[in-house]
Amino acid sequence: MARPVTLFTGQWADLPLTELAEKASGWGYDGLELACWGDHFDPATGAVDPAYCENQKRILEENKLNVYAVSHHLAGQLVCDLNNDVRSDAFAPQDCAGDAEKKRAWAVETMKQTAIAAKNMGLNVVNGFTGSSIWHLIYSFPPLGENQIEDGFKYFSDMWNPILDVFDENGVKFALEVHPTEIAFDIITAERALEAIGRREAFGFNFDPSHLLWQGVDPEKFIRTFPDRIYHVHMKDATVNLDGTSGILSSCLDFGQPGRGWDFRSLGRGQVNFEEIIRALNEIAYDGPLSVEWEDAAMDREAGAQEAVDFVKEIDFPPSSRGFDDAFATE
């Protein structure tokens, strides 16, 4: 049986859920991965009002769509981020703007609410970010103090263990999208994050190959390294365009600008080897959704979303239930 193909709604939050659900159904998606911004899903309401959850599901059902996960990336970022500039002010309510610790306190509370709301939606996975208090130390000059990195992982543990307690209480898992600016951004830091969190089952990963590819990390190796921790999968493509002038750090150029060392692409138009990713997912018996996170600054998003669902449905295939030469066996 083919895995369901869903659309992550984070890049579509300017559209009402009713409008996006109708479009996604017409494009051929099986469901939506609801972002906790725009009007797509409000975890504070969902945590206390089961009727609200039923209404959001009804919008999808009327369009023959399902929901398998909700995602609260923006709030999760604020839990461990330094929160010390205006870039993250828009991630929290307006009355938190400019106040790093007020943003953090709100983020911790809303992440706990998201676990309860997910249970009320009948879901067992919440995707998101964790933020990182040490990302700014990624290049070790000025030289790092002896324990600065270790202290950052301990801070992550201290901040997220109480949140994960609420996830455990509600039978929900948190899937970190391994990503630059998070506590885990490659295989080594993902392993270190698991160790810091005590390898508790509530914490795993939302696999997204696009963020690994441009760093030079093998996406299939990530899957095979953490076979029991792939709780959700994003399908997103990227390309590396190093030409001797640009660098992998992107030269402070925005997405889509000429000269960037790497960029996101619509599915099938970049350098991610999705054939091998499907094979790796089959190896670990992943049977959850394949969720399209569509980003391509040079392409119309509706054309891209339509193209993406067709691409994923064509590239996906079920694992074999028998050896290919079993037919030669004789009694």
**Domains by residue range for the chain, with CATH:** 5-328 (3.20.20.150)
Instruction: Tell me the Cα Rg of the chain.
Output: 20
Give exposure, 85-113, as e/b (b: 16+ Cβ within 10 Å): eeebeebbeeebeeeeebbbebbbebbbb
By CB neighbour count within 10 A (0-12 exposed, 13-18 middle, 19+ buried), where does 200 fall? middle
By CB neighbour count within 10 A (0-12 exposed, 13-18 middle, 19+ buried), where does 187 fall? middle
CB 89 within 8 A of CB 97: yes
Give the model's pLDDT for residue 2: 86
Asked whether residue 326 carries a pLDDT value surpassing 70, the answer given is no
Asked whether residue 308 carries a pLDDT value surpassing 70, the answer given is yes
Give the model's pLDDT for residue 330: 58
Asked whether residue 287 carries a pLDDT value surpassing 60, the answer given is yes
Q: pTM of the predicted model, to two decimals?
A: 0.96
Both tokens of residue 194? 């698991």
* pLDDT one-digit tens code per residue, 166-217: 999 999 999 999 999 999 999 999 999 999 999 999 999 999 999 999 999 9
Asked whether residue 325 carries a pLDDT value surpassing 90, the answer given is no
* pLDDT one-digit tens code per residue, 75-99: 999 999 999 989 999 999 999 999 9
